[in-house]
Amino acid sequence: MKHLATIFCVASLMVALSCSTVMGQDQPQRKVTPVKPSTNTVLTPPKGTDEKIIQQYLTGDTAQARAQERKDSLARIYPHYPKLTELWLGVNFGDALLMAFGQKYSSFDVHATLNMWNRFQPHFVLGFGRAKETPDDMNFTYTGKLSPYFKLGANYNFLYKKDPQYQLYAGVRLGFSTFKYDIDNVTISNPYWGEYESSFQLKGLSSSALWGEFLLGLKVGLTTQWALGWEAKFHGMFKESKNASGKPWYIPGYGSRNGKWAFGISLYYTIPLNRDRWPVTDDGKKGNRNTPTEAPSRAPVPVK
């Protein structure tokens, strides 16, 4: 009996070993894939890149270097002028030229414009106007005495990326004037007999007016400090004081009350402000780059 038990145990052990061997042969053999070390790359900085950006590339801070590079590129394409860029002092002599072509009224004004960021431009005007005219088909002579007018407004420069010597802008103005005038040689005729009945005068009349203007202007530099500008204005009356004799024919700073358009020509003297903070051009001068600088292409370079 002992011999039979021993034989049974040995046979069971051999069967178990055989089964485990067969099961091991049925399962697929797993392979181990070797892991290759990754290769780090950096971007070659473009020619002319600031030394600080190059150091960021070399230290491996590529993201920060590229962000700073994009910022510098935008600064070249969209130059940022300082808040107080320059101050213009101008003289408007447009009416003086128009009087040579028969205009019967004139105005003369001086104005100041503060150029901010080479984009927004607060504007102030102080002037005087006068007139003397016998309107067509009218029975009176209008004499507007020399009277002051004021305008306050602002411009928006569409060429804010360009050199401040060249401006293309739109603007708004609010104008006000208080003035005196005379109406002379007022005649009343008899419509039946066609004869003059009477003639009289209205002296020392006074009035005031408030109006608004929308304008388009162009300014071109002649030299570093002198420039010439043109403006086309469309205006309309907001409010004017009542007068028993009727509405005035001429308003200083506005022109003929029946006119909707006005034109101006000005000579400007420019006072640069914060010139040391203006963008630098490719030729080393203060101002805007005429054309944007394109960054050269960058290729990944492996680090050994």
Per residue in 250-287, pLDDT (tens digit) is: 999 999 988 899 999 999 999 999 999 998 755 456 66
9 inside domain: no
pLDDT reported for residue 28:
54
**Among positive and negative, which fits the CA dihedral 134, 138, 144, 150?**
negative
* Judgement on whether residues 88 and 190 belong to the same structural domain of the protein: yes
Residue 158's domain comprises 84-277
126 inside domain: yes
4 inside domain: no
16 inside domain: no
How large is the C-alpha radius of gyration of the chain?
A: 42
* Judgement on whether residues 64 and 141 belong to the same structural domain of the protein: no
* Judgement on whether residues 255 and 136 belong to the same structural domain of the protein: yes
Of 178-182, 194-198, 239-243, 297-301, least confident by mean pLDDT is 297-301
- The pLDDT tens digits of the residues spanning 20-64 come to 554 555 455 555 555 555 555 555 555 666 666 666 666 666 777
pLDDT reported for residue 60:
64
102 — pLDDT class (breaks 50, 70, 90): confident
The stretch 108-116 carries a mean pLDDT of: 97
Among the candidates 19, 54, 77, a domain finishes at 77
* Judgement on whether residues 185 and 72 belong to the same structural domain of the protein: no
* Judgement on whether residues 88 and 161 belong to the same structural domain of the protein: yes
C-alpha 64/C-alpha 71 separation (Å) is 11
* Judgement on whether residues 47 and 89 belong to the same structural domain of the protein: no
* Judgement on whether residues 57 and 113 belong to the same structural domain of the protein: no
C-alpha 288/C-alpha 274 separation (Å) is 14
pTM of the predicted protein model = 0.69
* Phi, psi angles (nearest 5°) of residue 45: -65, 145
123 or 24, higher pLDDT: 123
* Judgement on whether residues 192 and 68 belong to the same structural domain of the protein: no
**Single-letter amino acid, residue 14:** M
Of 62-71, 178-187, 206-215, least confident by mean pLDDT is 62-71
Average pLDDT, the chain: 80
* Judgement on whether residues 137 and 223 belong to the same structural domain of the protein: yes
Q: 186 with 197: CB under 8 angstroms?
A: no
204 inside domain: yes
The closest alpha carbon to 95, from 86, 77, 108, 83, belongs to: 108
* Judgement on whether residues 62 and 90 belong to the same structural domain of the protein: no
Whichever domain contains 254, its CATH number is 2.40.160.20
Number of structural domains in the chain = 2
Of 19-23, 82-86, 221-225, 236-240, least confident by mean pLDDT is 19-23
* Judgement on whether residues 105 and 142 belong to the same structural domain of the protein: yes
Among the candidates 31, 60, 77, a domain finishes at 77
pLDDT reported for residue 244:
78
User: pLDDT at residue 294 above 50?
Assistant: no
Half-sphere exposure of 37 (CA within 13 A, CB side): 5
